[in-house]
Structure 1
Amino acid sequence: MTALLKIVLGNRRYSSWSLRGWLAVKQSGQDFEEVVIPMDTPEWREKKTDPALMPSGKVPSLWSGGIAVWESLAIIDWLADRHGQAAYWPTDDAARAFARSMAAEMHAGFTALRSQCPMDVCARYEGFRFEEATRADIDRIVTLWTEARDRFGAGGPYLFGAFGAADMMFAPVVMRFVTYGAKLSGTAASYMNAMTAHPWMVEWCAAAEAEPASWRIGKYEDKAREYL
């Protein structure tokens, strides 16, 4: 049977936005097809201009028949409209407002962390030196995680109890903290442990480890070594 949904992804090792979109499709409970295009390759440069794969020239993009949705937050909302808002967003008004605000802040912000610490779910660095602006981003993220867990997280180990859209948006941050050795404690550390143990996160990281060596992108690893 042909899957009704298709998601176009970049390398699992590096593509933070692909991880968000993929988790959103997993949460829908629907069968889906995955198309993985290795970044920074001739295949990538060819296919990123194909509107039948990547309408924006970026990943992820989600296809349902002839309907295309791109940008991870748009993919989350499109799937929530069709497969149940409660699977993605809290039902409580205050919790939902906080979750949507967190997700939007993640979508638009934390540029220092993104710049200094590209996602690489397979790497581990000891003694990584975070720049001041990156530390400020980390502190803000820890504050958000802690407040969400303290106020709204009684129903489970994730930001708003059950796994949802806010967790999807912060999943690549969790992996960045693991990769670059961010030292967390208390509520934030417990949340990070819950996320790394989530079966879908384990599945994603295992698939990243299995990617061909030819898909590795040296500039990300070279950048990390500048801060060791």
Structure 2
Amino acid sequence: MKRKIIDLPRSFAQLTNDWIINVRGKSAGEGVTGTGQVAYGAQPRWETTIDLAAIGCEGQRTWNAIQSSMRGRINVLRVPLIDLCPVDLGIPGLDEWSISHIPHSDDTPFSDGAYYAQEPTIVMPSLLEAGAEEMTVDTSSVNHVLEPGMWFSHDDWPYRVTGMWEGEGGATTFAFEPPLRRDIPEGHEVTLQATALMVFETDLEGRMPLERGRLITASVKLLEWTSRP
């Protein structure tokens, strides 16, 4: 079955919360010594919730289109992961929230209202194999702003930085979670505008019942698509 990937607008991505790694541990019962036993799978996944409370009529129409396009749990949602504390990426006059709206030199957009985009990326200096928990890279291209708690991704596989150590010659080592899910070849780029491929937890996620005189309230539970090819 071919699954369509649908891009979630950044305005909705800002409504995501509770991004957490679910290691999907299963209890194996209590051991003879009285200690608990837990079995863990090899593929942890990210989970999050979109809060759709009071998104307004225009947002409701947009969400209805997205939800219908998802066809329950069949299709996949590409979700931007937004660091809610904007940082200076070394691009004059721009921050993480605005690097997708770069105008011409006279501050005007294209005739159709579109802008240039400059994605903050870091080049991988050598092969990083699946299972790695650290990477050593030169972050000068993004003004050395990659810090613990921030996101990066490669091929829509997202990671969160958990630690950093500065080395010689401008190289910095970063620890991240979860462990690398796929190889990153030498010369490939990782992006600080991280994205994740997510699916609905149930076929009826995001139902928005309307009641006269009451605000629309709904939440959507999303699970990372870890079984992707």
- Common fold, TM-score beyond 0.5? no
TM-score bracket for the superposition, by shorter chain length: under 0.3
Greater percentage in helix: 1
Output the TM-score relative to the length of structure 1: 0.26
